A and B are shown apart, each in its own frame.
Chain A
Amino acid sequence: KQEVTQIPAALSVPEGENLVLNCSFTDSAIYNLQWFRQDPGKGLTSLLLIQSSQREQTSGRLNASLDKSSGRSTLYIAASQPGDSATYLCAARGGSQGNLIFGKGTKLSVKP
């Protein structure tokens, strides 16, 4: 049974810092992995999708990597801004038509 873990549960950094959020999964036979952002009381915003055959994806200041053999993915945020403050969730999909299994998220706070 796939389990997804995100560490740390919360992170506070000063504005401008580069940071890394971690996601680990127990079953390496994933189809893809998706990173989301959730603002308080809101839905999820898709940030990046990495297929199992890919090693990384980039969008603006965000870069996500995937290492299936070690069961890990990282989300790198460059030059963090207060507007980046949110909860970041990663989710693994087991098959092309499978559902997403979510981690519990990392709550990021970027201080001005």
Chain B
Amino acid sequence: KAGVTQTPRYLIKTRGQQVTLSCSPISGHRSVSWYQQTPGQGLQFLFEYFSETQRNKGNFPGRFSGRQFSNSRSEMNVSTLELGDSALYLCASSFGGGRTSGRRSNEQFFGPGTRLTVL
């Protein structure tokens, strides 16, 4: 069974540009969550999509946005990049939780991440 995949693995951008990151979840998973990891702040939750709808959102500015497609693949977009956006961006997939989905249905499985460097 294939794991979570993220593309691209590495990106170098300059301030002011915008970037789109992609995440393909494990087959059958309907929830995709995005996290930002930096040495100073650690892992911080960005947002979660479930069945093409944003279900949860972290405390990030509106420059960070996302979407999910009908096949559960998700994209994350960051506009007007700042130096502080340099980070490892991780996505995680799960079945999505809920009463009918089983006790382990919200166990999250992570992809390898996209390393974004903003110059």
Q: Is B33's CB within 8 Å of the partner chain A? A: yes
Determine if B110 and A46 form an interchain contact, defined as CB atoms under 8 angstroms apart. yes
Interface of A is mostly: strand
Determine if A100 and B107 form an interchain contact, defined as CB atoms under 8 angstroms apart. no
Stretch from B14-22, B64-72, B73-81, B90-98 contacting the other chain: B90-98
Q: How far is the CA of A36 from the CA of B35 in the complex (A)?
A: 14
Which residues of the partner chain A approach B4 to less than 8 Å between Cβ atoms? 43
Q: Is B25's CB within 8 Å of the partner chain A? A: no
Q: Is B61's CB within 8 Å of the partner chain A? A: no
Candidates A31, A96, A99, A104; contact of B42 at CB < 8 Å: A104
Determine if A46 and B108 form an interchain contact, defined as CB atoms under 8 angstroms apart. yes
- Tell me the nearest residue of chain B to A98, going by C-beta: B56
Q: Which of A48-71 contact B (CB under 8 A)?
A: 49, 51
Binary interface encoding of chain A residues 86-112 relative to chain B, with 1 for a CB under 8 A from any of its CBs, else 0: 000101010011111111110000000
Interface of B is mostly: strand
Determine if A99 and B110 form an interchain contact, defined as CB atoms under 8 angstroms apart. no
Determine if B111 and A49 form an interchain contact, defined as CB atoms under 8 angstroms apart. no
Determine if B96 and A97 form an interchain contact, defined as CB atoms under 8 angstroms apart. yes
Determine if B43 and A102 form an interchain contact, defined as CB atoms under 8 angstroms apart. yes
Candidates A41, A89, A99; contact of B33 at CB < 8 Å: A99
Determine if B113 and A42 form an interchain contact, defined as CB atoms under 8 angstroms apart. yes
Q: Which of B22-80 contact A (CB under 8 A)?
A: 33, 35, 42-45, 48, 50, 55-56, 58
Determine if B98 and A97 form an interchain contact, defined as CB atoms under 8 angstroms apart. yes
A residues lining the B interface (CB < 8 Å): 31-32, 34, 36, 41-46, 49, 51, 89, 91, 93, 96-105
23 contacting pairs across A/B (C-beta < 8 A): A41-B88, A41-B115, A43-B6, A44-B110, A46-B107, A46-B110, A89-B43, A91-B43, A93-B106, A96-B98, A96-B106, A97-B55, A97-B56, A97-B97, A97-B106, A98-B56, A99-B56, A100-B43, A100-B45, A100-B92, A102-B42, A102-B44, A104-B42
- Given pairs A49-B104, A100-B108, 6 additional interface contacts (CB within 8 A): A34-B108, A43-B6, A97-B56, A97-B96, A99-B45, A100-B45
The 4 closest A-B pairs by CB, nearest first: A102-B43, A44-B110, A104-B42, A43-B110
